[in-house]
Chains A and B, each alone.
Chain A
Amino acid sequence: MMYVLIVFLPLLGAILAGFFSSVLKDRGSQIVTSGFLVVSALLSWVGFFDFMGGAEPLTVDLASWMQVGDFSVNWALRIDMLTQVMLVVVTSVSALVHIYSIGYMAHDPSIPRFFSYLSLFTFAMLMLVTADNLVQLYFGWEGVGLASYLLIGFWYEKPSAGAAAIKAFLVNRVGDFGFALGIFTLFFMLGTVNFDEIFAAMPGLVGKQFNFLGWQVDVITTASLLLFVGAMGKSAQIGLHTWLPDAMEGPTPVSALIHAATMVTAGVFMVARLSPVFEYSETALTVVTVIGAATAFFAATVGMVQNDIKRVIAYSTCSQLGYMFFALGVGAYPVAIFHLFTHAFFKALLFLGAGSVIHAVSDEQDLRKMGGLAPHIRQTWILMAIGSLALAGIFPFAGYFSKDAILEAAFASGSTAGVYAYWLGVAAAVMTAFYSMRLFMLAFHGRPRAPKEVMDHVHESPKVMLIPLYFLGAGAIASGFLFAGPMIGEAFREFWGPAIYIGEHNEVMEAMHNVPGYVKLLPLLAGIGGILIGWIMYGWKTDLPASLARTHQVLYQFLLNKWYFDEIYDFLIVRPILKLGRILWKQGDGRIIDGFGPDGVSALVVRLARRAAALQTGYLYHYAFAMLIGVAALITYFFYNLGL
């Protein structure tokens, strides 16, 4: 019952705020949705501590969904420790974001719509994490995609927001296509979509091959890779990441909730949930590792040069998701989820803090037009510092524990991919610390670069925005050392129970604690080093960045333009498709179908109508003539027929 409430209260809130906004008004919809989410979050923590105390996993059956022949899908909530952690993350961050939004969106004309979407998103995300089968997972997956689309395009009157929303939707579609194929593959081989049945059947599937697009391929590897394509789309991994930076067009609380803390981690969750599947495919895990590491590195490089405060954090998110994936790839699923857990707090903190900064400087998002804000917004300054340190992985902040663990696990796996991921990860850690410092220095220190009238109005955010930030700050500080022990320590198996499957030969969780000392130390040094470089370039020798950019023009442009991903996609995919579409539209639809179809027929009708009307001359003798001709024709016809 508690779990039903956790999942469905947000839906109820969304419906109330969405359909009864004329009754509830702005205030009412804020109270309803935020209140429900707070309740939902509190219940989640209750459940979480239940599980910490040793509660058994359970399945809550809600209703039968589809029943076609042997194929049956139920609505059911699968509650285990993995779900529990996700519930805590999702509902807590969502509740805080709801409250924060009361302040942040106070001047927006369509407040009920915003809160309704936020709650709808939360519901879909909860459906996703509590899914008991692949179809329900897919339902939640698409639900969050829809909510994300709606929220990115929330300010739909802005063309760039509309474009970003469509881009997010389309890029995700590519991933979702892979995901759907993955589900089909599993269903094709096993005839079921229920997790329990799939997991139980996996050992029997090892080494089986089937015909996919003409090749004989390994079933598990194919299914895993297809599912991973879905995860790549949702979690913005390299190749399918292009939508995430653009998604920053949405309101900042949305970026914090959806595009940092929860939805983008759905891919990580999915791989962890399906660990019993992935664990049987060495190849798939290697791919996951390589892609994750590449994303971590790539996004960090781009993050170093972006000027939009939200885009810097967006690339940082992308990069951190890369960390999570290569942790999954080396088999350290608990570590990935642990990082997901800590990351949710400090990244939401960073985003909401950035929102507070943006709020302070009259909706300016360009770092180059900030600076010197620290004395004016002291509380935000402190909170951002906590968030940045946590992100950079400095002891004792949350990020230190999880990121270190990831890098150690990567090294400990001993595989080539693992070591590759380790070194890329360390490099990315330097850059992460660097861009965090850069953002921090550009925003808060140095000479104010904003116009005077903006600086005069700089003000601290209202309490309703700051209080959620304090909660998140506490999480960013404490979630690391509090939960590192149970989640990834020696006793991790007791903590996770059957929720995460780790194969017999996979000893990375144990091995990670026994890596050489320099491996443990390096990430922390990387963080400190990155911060130092950042301070040198933006705190001490402030003309250095400009001269560096000038001397390494090519590299700088390459990074500034995000490795030209958008341009390459535009050239390779978007433009050919547009061209094809134009041909089909102009030639196929316009000329052939319309030409011979509706337009051709209607033109013919008009022509015939004109002829028919022209018969009507108004002259009596024409009429009489027509009658006589008619009779004559009929009689001739008969005589001809009778053979006379």
Chain B
Amino acid sequence: MFVMLQTVFPDLSAATPEIFLFIVAMALLMVGVFAPAARAAAVVGRLALLSLVVALVMVLMQDGVKVATFENMFIVDRFAIFMKVLVLIGSALTLLMSGRFFAEMNARKFEYPVLVVLATLGMMMMISANDLIALYMGLEIQSLALYVLAAFLRDQERSTEAGLKYFVLGALSSGMLLYGASMVYGFAGTTQFAALAAVLKGGEVAPGIIVGIVFIAAGLAFKVSAVPFHMWTPDVYEGAPTPVTAFFAVAPKVAAIALFLRVMLEPFGGIAAEWRQVIVFLSVASMILGAFAAIRQNNIKRLMAYSSIGHVGYALLGLAVGTSEGIRAVLVYMAIYLTMNIGTFACILAMRRQGQYVEQIPDLAGLSKRNLPMAIIMMLLMFSLAGVPPLAGFFGKFYVFKAVMEMSALSSGWTVLAVIGVLSSVVGAFYYLRIVKVMFFDEALEPLDLPSGRELGLLMGLAGAFNLFFFPFAGPLLRAAGNAAAALF
């Protein structure tokens, strides 16, 4: 028999932003090598920022029609566009705030922006993954870059420790994910999402597939730092250079949540009743631990780590609901989460005393007298993180709980979940408010420096304004999130 090997040249147009970023990353490496050493880092940084913005424009220009290409490995739909926009915004803004930091640490190297671009590329691949293999590839492109970033201040013990821990545990989680993927392949006979969905549509579910899903979920839970796969988060957040922490808190989290949503809903959506328990457990454990463990933290980066664990818990609650309402709530939540974190980390980067970066909460004492605008923005962000109306953070939680409560008609268990969520956000409010209290009511021993540079002020202002004025102007974001969520069903 004559077998015709048909190799169709893939449709590249759907992946133009990714291809563009890949080429840019390579080009920037060359620029970095050949540009004058003194200016290389600054030039590459600026070009990287520019290319992220260009990629953002390219993503925005995609029309949102569902297109699968590369043998169904890669998919672009409204959901992917929405998430890529968030990731690109997060990457660009954190890149914007990191230049000065590294310059002042005497560690401004041109590799840094290139690694950010590569990580972003990996995230976009994750978001568009339509196959377990593609998923893994995206994940690893992102992760390898992130490991290096965490250890970027390589002459600092804390930074290298953070990088190493992240790498070892990340490798473990990748192993779990791969193992899960192999189980699923073994029992279902395919790795393609669409094909998996077809296989799993109704009928008996082999236990092997359940085991596989659990392992995949564990691997993904590691990336979003959900309890009990969160252990790396506080250490890595604390140890990594602050701009890197900001980056970790924003872009990879958004991307991993996007991946989580797509994997659970597209191939495994048919058996949601089976995996829902896992997500509920991860969500509840994250909300509670995020609320309680942060109370005793004095390091603000560590505190933000627990804060992000808690927020992931709320986002996962939306996934556990699994309806388009719930997914929309997650998307809105992630968008708001992104702005809150960008703003907060801009504030953290502005915490300097006599030129040295400090990151203890008591260092913020008396900020209201020294720098009232910054204290007010920080206060707004803290209130928003705590979920105080009418700030954006409140609405993030509100939509999640609303989706949960709509399910409570089916089963009273959902009400319990909502109650747990609300109660843990009450506990969590404590540590956010504590920061406000320190800033406004404690006496400073030694005042902080005034922030230098316009970038941080700009970012703080933008984040503060977004959170303050979300309420009256939320319409477009809600519509976009609704459209994106609809793409998964």
Using a CB–CB cutoff of 8 Å, the interface residues on chain A facing chain B are 605-606, 608-613, 615-616, 618, 620, 622-624, 626-627, 629-631, 634-635, 637-639, 641-642, 644
Partner of A626, one of B231, B277, B427, B430: B231
Look across to chain B and name the residue whose beta carbon is closest to the beta carbon of A629. B228
Selected interface stretch from B104-112, B214-222, B381-389, B437-445: B214-222
Query: Are A622's CB and B207's CB within 8 A?
Result: no
Residues in A with CB closer than 8 Å to B173 are: 627
11 contacts between A and B (CB under 8 A): A606-B295, A608-B292, A613-B296, A613-B297, A622-B231, A627-B229, A627-B231, A630-B227, A635-B211, A638-B211, A639-B207
B297: chain A residues within 8 A (beta carbon): 613
- Pair A634/B218 contact, Cβ less than 8 Å: yes
Mask, B197-233, CB within 8 Å of A = 1, is: 0000000000100110011011000100001110110
Interface membership of B289, Cβ < 8 A? yes
Contact A623 B165 (CB under 8 A): yes
> For residue B277, which residues in chain A have a CB less than 8 angstroms away from its CB?
637-638, 641
A sample of 10 more A-B contacts (CB under 8 A), given A605-B292, A620-B169, A629-B228, is A609-B295, A612-B289, A615-B231, A616-B293, A627-B173, A630-B227, A631-B176, A634-B278, A635-B211, A644-B207
Given A623-B165, A629-B228: A609 touches B215 (CB 8 Å cut-off):
no
Contacts of A626 in B (CB 8 A): 228-229, 231
Binding site for A on B (CB under 8 A): 165, 168-169, 172-173, 176, 207, 210-211, 214-215, 217-218, 222, 227-229, 231-232, 234-235, 274, 277-278, 281, 289, 292-297, 427, 430
How many A-B residue pairs lie within 8 Å, measured between CB atoms?
78
A638 engages B214 (CB within 8 Å): yes
Q: Which residues of B have CB within 8 Å of A639?
A: 207
Known: A635-B211, A642-B210. Contact between A609 and B231, CB under 8 A?
Answer: no
CB-CB under 8 A from B229, the residues of chain A are 626-627, 630
CA distance A602 to B192 in the complex (A): 50
Min distance, Cβ B121 to any Cβ of chain A, angstroms: 27
* Complex interface: chain A residues within 8 A of B228 (CB): 626-627, 629-630
* Given A613-B296, A638-B211, A642-B207: A627 touches B235 (CB 8 Å cut-off): no
Partner of A623, one of B169, B215, B227, B274: B169
Interchain CA distance A635-B281 in the complex, whole Å: 12
User: What is the CB-to-nearest-CB distance from A629 to chain B, in angstroms, rounded to a whole number?
Assistant: 7
Q: Are B172 and A627 in contact (CB under 8 A)?
A: yes
In the complex, which residues of chain A have a beta carbon less than 8 angstroms from the beta carbon of B210? 638, 642
Closest to A611 in B: B292
Please tell me if the beta carbons of A616 and B214 are within 8 angstroms of each other in the complex.
Answer: no
Cβ-defined contact, B168 with A635, below 8 A: no
Chain B: CB-nearest residue to A601 = B427
Complexed CA–CA distance, A627 and B168 (Å): 12
Q: A605-B427, A610-B296, A642-B207 are known contacts. Are A631 and B214 too (CB-CB below 8 A)?
A: yes
Write the nearest CB–CB distance from A93 to chain B, whole angstroms. Answer: 50
CA distance A634 to B210 in the complex (A): 10
6 interchain residue pairs of minimum CB distance: A612-B293, A623-B231, A630-B228, A609-B295, A612-B292, A631-B218
How far, in whole Å, are A631 and B216 apart by their CA atoms in the complex? 10
B204 → A minimal CB distance (Å): 11
Nearest B residue to A635, CB-CB: B214
Distance A609 CA – B231 CA, assembled complex (angstroms):
15
Contact call B293/A613, Cβ cutoff below 8 A: yes
Task: Determine the chain A residues whose CB is within 8 A of the CB of B215 once the complex forms.
Answer: 631
* Alpha-carbon distance A560/B206, docked complex (angstroms): 99
B231 proximity list for chain A (CB < 8 A): 615-616, 622-623, 626-627
Q: Measured between C-beta atoms, what is the minimum distance from B462 to chain A in Å?
A: 33
Contacts of A631 in B (CB 8 A): 176, 214-215, 218
Q: What residues on A are CB-neighbors of B232 within 8 Å?
A: 623
Partner of A616, one of B176, B218, B234, B427: B234
A634 touches B292 (CB 8 A): no
Give the chain B neighbours of A606 by CB distance below 8 A.
295-296
Tell me the nearest residue of chain B to A637, going by C-beta.
Answer: B277
Taking a contact as CB atoms under 8 Å apart, the answer to whether A620 and B165 are in contact is yes
**In the complex, A627→B295 CA distance in Å?**
23
Q: How far is the CA of A138 from the CA of B165 in the complex (A)?
A: 76
Please name all residues of chain B whose beta carbon is closer than 8 Å to the beta carbon of A641 when the two chains form the complex: 277
Residues of B within 8 A of A612 (CB): 289, 292-293
Question: Which chain B residues lie closer than 8 Å to A630 at the CB level?
Answer: 218, 227-229
What residues on B are CB-neighbors of A634 within 8 Å?
A: 214, 217-218, 278, 281
Among B165, B169, B231, B292, chain A packs the most CB atoms within 10 A around the CB of: B231
Q: Which residue of A lies closest to B285 (CB)?
A: A630
Cα A638 to Cα B274 in complex, Å, equals 9
Distance in angstroms from B154 CB to nearest chain A CB is 19
Indicate whether A627 sits within 8 Å of B222 (C-beta atoms), given known contacts A616-B235, A618-B235, A639-B207.
yes
Q: How far is the CA of A51 from the CA of B294 in the complex (A)?
A: 79
A644 to B231, CA, bound (A): 31
How far does the alpha carbon of A639 sit from the alpha carbon of B281 in the complex, in Å?
16
Name the residue on A nearest B161 (C-beta): A618
Measured between beta carbons, the chain A residues less than 8 angstroms from B278 are 634
Determine how close the nearest CB of chain B comes to the CB of A633; give it in whole angstroms.
Answer: 8
- Please give the distance in Å from A500's CB to the nearest CB on chain B: 60
Nearest residue (CB) in A for B179 is: A631
Assess whether B293 is in contact with A627, with CB atoms less than 8 Å apart. no
State in angstroms the CA–CA spacing of A635 and B278 once bound together: 9
Cα of A626 to Cα of B228 in the assembled complex, Å: 6
Max chain B Cβ within 10 angstroms of own Cβ: one of A605, A620, A634, A644: A634
Docked complex Cα distance between A634 and B178 (Å): 17
B168 in contact with A620 (CB, 8 Å): yes
* Inter-chain contacts of B289 with A (CB < 8 A): 612
CB neighbours of A638 from chain B (8 A): 207, 210-211, 214, 274, 277
Task: Determine the distance from Cα of A606 to Cα of B289 in the docked complex, in whole angstroms.
Answer: 13
Distance (Å) between the CB of B221 and the closest chain A CB? 8
Q: With a CB–CB cut-off of 8 A, which chain A residues contact B165?
A: 620, 623
* Interface contact A609-B292, CB-CB below 8 Å: yes
Docked CA distance A610–B297 (Å): 10
A627 to B218, Cβ gap below 8 A?
Answer: yes
Chain A residue numbers with a CB within 8 Å of B217 are 634
| Cβ-defined contact, A609 with B281, below 8 A | no
In the bound complex, CA of A618 to CA of B231 (Å): 9
- Pair B211/A624 contact, Cβ less than 8 Å: no
B162 → chain A closest CB, angstroms: 11
CB distance from B183 to the nearest CB of A (A): 11
Q: How far is A606 from B291 in the complex, measured between Cα atoms in Å?
A: 11
A329-B481 Cα distance, complex, nearest whole Å: 81
* Residues of A close to B234: CB separation below 8 A: 616
User: How far is it, in angstroms, between the C-alpha of A592 and the C-alpha of B449 when the chains are bound?
Assistant: 48
Contacts of A627 in B (CB 8 A): 169, 172-173, 176, 218, 222, 228-229, 231
B176 closest partner in A (C-beta): A631
Q: Chain A residue with minimal CB distance to B274?
A: A638
Once bound together, how far apart are the Cα atoms of A110 and B262, in whole Å? Answer: 72
Q: Among the listed A609, A623, A624, which residue makes an inter-chain contact with B296, where contact means beta carbons less than 8 Å apart?
A: A609
Across-interface contacts of B427 in A (CB, < 8 A): 605
Q: How far is the CB of A230 from chain B (nearest CB, A)?
A: 46
CA distance A505 to B175 in the complex (A): 109
Min CB distance, B232 to chain A, in Å? Answer: 6
Determine the distance from Cα of A631 to Cα of B296 in the docked complex, in whole angstroms.
28
Closest partner residue, chain A, to B234 (CB atom): A616
A615, B231: Cα distance in complex, Å: 9
Shortest CB–CB separation between residue B175 and chain A, in angstroms?
10
Q: Given the complex, which residues of B lie within 8 Å of A635, measured CB to CB?
A: 211, 214
A628: nearest chain-B partner, CB-CB: B172
A644 contacts across to B, CB distance below 8 A: 207
A608 to B231, CA, bound (A): 17
Kindly report which residue of chain B lies nearest to residue A644, judged by CB atoms.
B207
Q: How far is the CA of A631 from the CA of B217 in the complex (A)?
A: 9
What are the residues of chain B within 8 A of A622 when measuring CB–CB?
A: 231
CA of A552 to CA of B235, assembled, Å: 88
Q: How far, in angstroms, from A279 to B416 measured CA to CA in the complex? A: 66
Question: What residue in chain B is nearest A602 (Cβ atoms)?
Answer: B430
Q: Please report the C-alpha to C-alpha distance between residue A612 and residue B217 in the assembled complex, in whole angstroms.
A: 23
